[in-house]
Chain A
Amino acid sequence: MVPAAHSTHRRRFAFTAGDAVKQGVLIVASFIALVPTLYMIATALKSDAEYAVDKLGLPDAPVLENFRAVLIDSPFALWMLNSFILVAGSVLVSIVVSCLAAYAIARMEFRGRDTLLALSTSLMAVPPIVMIVPLFVLYTQLDLISTYQGAIIIYAGLITPFSVYLLTTFFRTVPNELFEAARIDGAGDFLILWQIVLPLSLPALLTLVVVNSLYVWNDLLIAIIFLQEDAKRTLMAGISVFQGRYNNQVPLTMAGMVIASAPMFILYIAFQKHFIRGLMAGAIK
């Protein structure tokens, strides 16, 4: 009773000054966070002529021509498909590898276990650029430049240390009794992993899928070095090339950016909860 009265009193009292300032700060921050997106969308809907005279306002007569031009006259759809293949491939490989390893690390006794986990975890801090040179030389030798499988292995490797770390932490929280019970029923380790641990770990797995997909989808460095052939370009590598080519056609470029950011944006709005949880878990890495 007393705390409630206190808190309503406080709220009414503070709103006049403090809360108004706080709202103001958050509104300004939200505006700054959104301004590039708003500019991108508004500009994409303008004609070149309109953009020349009005760079800031909303489009007077929205045109869709820019979107048509991007989708039809440039290989955007192909780039997106390439990105999608890489995301699907590398996230799948990484999840399988890290589930097996995390299960062993969390649930089995073996020599070198702690060293392996420490080593794997410390690799998260090694910047990807450091690994590029020998892999590039090797891939040239093996004819793996501009192949999906080549890039998928590199991406899978880069995202796996975090996956192992997260899954190990998660698997350790699964109660021991579940394992004992399954073992008495005669289930082997693989069955336990598949039928008990994984279903229980769905939230953690979903988080991993979100964080890792975002990483692979958004990457530029690996894409630009290891997928040089035009037919294998990813979306990010593609737009980095594309934007230079149409330097003066800003609305066209922005239409391309709207299309390029749409998949992650739609996923973000649709799966807010998982994204936010995923980003928070990913941030702690």
Chain B
Amino acid sequence: MTNSLSIRLKPYLYVLPLVALLAFVFGYPLLRIFEFSFKLVRGVDGPWIGLRNYELILSQSLFWESVLHNIQLLLAIPAMVVISLLISILLFERIAGWRLYRVIVFVPFVLAIPIIAVVMKRMFQFSGPVNEVLRWASLDFLALDWIGSSDVALWTVMILIVWRESALGIILFLARLLSLDEAVLEAGRLDGANWWQRVWHIILPQMRGVIEFYVVVSVITMLASVFAYVYVMGGGRGGPGTATMVVEFYIFNALIRTSLPGIASAASVLLFLVSVLLIFPMFRARRRAREEEA
């Protein structure tokens, strides 16, 4: 009797640390942001104030500007997909030297975002090396104030994001390509299909799942995981002015700079709801990607 009870309890003992850890790091905060978002929190708690936090956020132009910036970052995704596809397919064809190329094109993903942001910021300074090259090439009209102009700053952040996140795409796509059925590709080759035809009719259809997955993951990144890029490029203020302000930074400011956890929580709730909406397509895409591979 005691023996069978201990056998039945044993699995729970094994998963207990996991449940405790996830409950603390995910469960507790996810419940509390909802509670806090309806309260005027000063310090650790405060009175209920209904929807006032939400009303305040939604009526603030800075919040909407941040949302718009996150949405603008989505424009980077098509470029990332095209670049990643091109490079990963070329690597997959085992062009002479592909092992070395592979080591090199993964480098952006090994470098930490703050480090690369610091370096890029110096490269794109108005009197920095990028503009020097552009002027040397008589492309003066392109020698913009990449960091200091509020019209351009967010685009510069996007260049950095494309540069780094494309490496993730290459990694992901190459993993998928390496599991493709070589016989089908060889058959296409024997049928006399040229490179474009092989890519378009044979390779791409088999990569739909993984491309979809990469797109969804990138959408989550652009909307909710660009803090490190923006923190350094925007000089810790989302600057110049509010040109690189994003929702994450809005939450950060409300929490740390103005000490308004209620406001920060309401914005967190909105961001959480958006990410929940994206979790389902992500799972679907991942399932499809895995089915393709099987």
A134 at the interface (CB under 8 A from B): yes
Known: A127-B271, A239-B118, A240-B236. A120 touches B18 (CB 8 A): yes
Which B residue sits closest to A113, measured CB to CB? B11
B144 at the interface (CB under 8 A from A): no
Chain B stretch 145-166: residues in CB contact (< 8 A) with chain A: 163
Which of A10, A22, A23, A113 has the most chain B CB atoms closer than 10 A to its own CB?
Answer: A22
Binds A, one of B55-63, B71-79, B171-179, B200-208: B171-179
Question: How long is the Cα–Cα vector from A224 to B220 in the complex, in angstroms?
Answer: 21
Which residues does chain A contribute within 8 Å of B122, judged by CB atoms? Answer: 39, 43, 250, 253-254
Check A129 against B95 for contact (C-beta < 8 Å). Answer: no
- Contacting B220 at CB < 8 Å: which of A37, A127, A156? A127
Known: A40-B119, A140-B44, A240-B232. A125 touches B103 (CB 8 A): no
Check B24 against A30 for contact (C-beta < 8 Å). Answer: no
Which residues does chain B contribute within 8 Å of A56, judged by CB atoms? Answer: 129, 132-133
Which residues does chain B contribute within 8 Å of A224, judged by CB atoms? Answer: 231
B14 at the interface (CB under 8 A from A): yes
Check A101 against B163 for contact (C-beta < 8 Å). Answer: no
B1 at the interface (CB under 8 A from A): no
Q: Size class of A's contact patch?
A: 35 or more
Check A133 against B123 for contact (C-beta < 8 Å). Answer: no
B189 at the interface (CB under 8 A from A): yes
- Contacting B106 at CB < 8 Å: which of A36, A132, A279? A279
B261 at the interface (CB under 8 A from A): yes
Contact with B along A255-272 (1 / 0, CB 8 A): 001001100110011001
Chain A stretch 206-225: residues in CB contact (< 8 A) with chain B: 214, 217-221, 224-225
Which residues does chain B contribute within 8 Å of A197, judged by CB atoms? Answer: none
Chain A stretch 267-285: residues in CB contact (< 8 A) with chain B: 268-269, 272, 275-276, 279-280, 283-284
Question: How long is the Cα–Cα vector from A256 to B219 in the complex, in angstroms?
Answer: 32
Known: A33-B108, A133-B33. A157 touches B115 (CB 8 A): no
Chain B stretch 103-128: residues in CB contact (< 8 A) with chain A: 103-116, 118-123, 128
Which residues does chain B contribute within 8 Å of A108, judged by CB atoms? Answer: 10-11, 14
B66 at the interface (CB under 8 A from A): no
Binds B, one of A60-68, A70-78, A92-100, A176-184: A92-100
Check A26 against B18 for contact (C-beta < 8 Å). Answer: no
Nearest 9 interchain pairs by C-beta: A157-B25, A127-B224, A104-B14, A134-B32, A101-B18, A110-B11, A218-B112, A131-B29, A220-B228
In the complex, given contacts A33-B104, A280-B171, what are 16 additional A-B residue pairs having Cβ atoms less than 8 angstroms apart? A10-B189, A18-B195, A23-B95, A26-B98, A26-B101, A29-B87, A32-B163, A39-B123, A93-B21, A100-B18, A122-B283, A125-B282, A130-B33, A220-B112, A243-B121, A275-B110
Contacts A/B (CB < 8 Å), 7 sampled? A25-B90, A55-B132, A133-B264, A134-B33, A140-B44, A156-B21, A220-B232
Which B residues are within 8 Å of any A CB, using their own CB?
8, 10-12, 14-15, 17-19, 21-22, 24-26, 28-30, 32-33, 36, 41, 43-44, 83, 86-87, 90-91, 93, 95-98, 101-116, 118-123, 128-129, 132-133, 163, 167-168, 171-172, 174-175, 186, 189-190, 195, 220, 223-225, 227-228, 231-232, 235-236, 248, 251-252, 255-256, 261, 264-265, 268, 271-272, 275, 278-279, 282-283, 286, 289
